Amino acid sequence: MTATTDTSTSPTTPTPSTASTASTPPVSAPAAASPAPAASAADSAGLPDPGAAAGLHSSVITWFGANARDLPWRRPEAGAWGVMVSEFMLQQTPVVRVLPVYEQWLARWPRPADLAAEAPGEAVRAWGRLGYPRRALRLHGAAQAITERHGGEVPSEHGQLISLPGIGEYTAAAVASFAYGRRHAVLDTNVRRVFARAVSGVEYPPNATTAAERKLARALLPDDETTAARWAAASMELGALVCTAKSPECGRCPIAGQCAWRLAGKPAHTGAARRGQTYAGTDRQVRGKLLAVLRDTSAPVPQSQLDAVWHEPVQRARALDGLVADGLVEPLAGGVYRLPLT
């Protein structure tokens, strides 16, 4: 999975044919018996019992039905391609920054074949200031593979999706679930945080996704495909809007009464230090400035014009070399540069 910022990956609801909650009747967690029964196998493994899991599903899915944001990639007309584009763009990028670029992208390239027919440099240019521009090249590569291998249609099977260039476990699961209503555990940062608090009783998940988290996500996944797809989107939305990293709003959380972290008194995080994101003065900032010059013109750019965007020559050269190595910039004879044509 690709790591995301706290609000970068917005859930994409399945299309209406898969988004109904009719097959998910409200289920309440079973009342505690006295004396307490022996721990179940799920309890001993640190996993929720089926009754508690069903209660989580019902509460979160019901909340989602009333609170889900109206986002373009959630609408039926977005289709699987719209869902895939949104998933690439939302990695480590907030929804508010993605929305205008997403709309422009789909207006220009409504099908994978439309993007595949363009030079990869045009994808980088259209990516604008979303950041992490290698995602644009990967999306272009995926569009080419979809056009060549799948007749221009985004495949629905997880195995076919994950074989596309630039698509990992998270994106394959997200597209299969959100676009086609398939049953997959979709683990982004928001979902991992919800599960860490509600089930594991800790404030934050580990910095990198663990095998234990994947096991928990699979254990929490509803058996029914339609409900599982709805649950994936709903739990992600809960993390994005309510169970946020810095200011969780427990007062309006639909599962506050079942949240292990809240019931334990909200113990402070004791794990590894959480990674912060810095930008000013980094190579990322220099790369962005260099790419901005190249995006603003269709003609090759001389070295001197690139030199003017950053004062420190060693860092500037390192950033430019990195862009070339990543395939984002193409050097030409005579000391000029352009966005890639092939």
Determine whether 148 is an active site residue.
Answer: no
The string over 219-232, giving b where at least 16 C-beta atoms fall within 10 Å of a residue's C-beta and e elsewhere, is: bbbbeebbbbbbbb
Instruction: Report how far apart, in Å, the C-alpha atoms of 108 and of each of 103, 320, 326 are.
Output: 9, 29, 25
Q: Which residue has the tokens 């495909």?
A: 225
Residues paired with 323 in a beta bridge? none
Cα 14 from chain centre? 15
Task: Return phi, psi of residue 338, to 5°.
Answer: -150, 170
The catalytic position among 77, 87, 225, 312 is 87
Reading across the β-sheet that carries 301-302, which strands appear in turn?
Answer: 301-302, 336-338, 330-332
Q: Whole-angstrom Cα distance, residue 200 to residue 202?
A: 6
The helix/strand/coil state of 336 is strand
The helix/strand/coil state of 330 is strand
DSSP 195-216: HIIIII--SS--SS--HHHHHH
Task: Return phi, psi of residue 337, to 5°.
Answer: -135, 155
By annotation, the residues acting in catalysis are 87
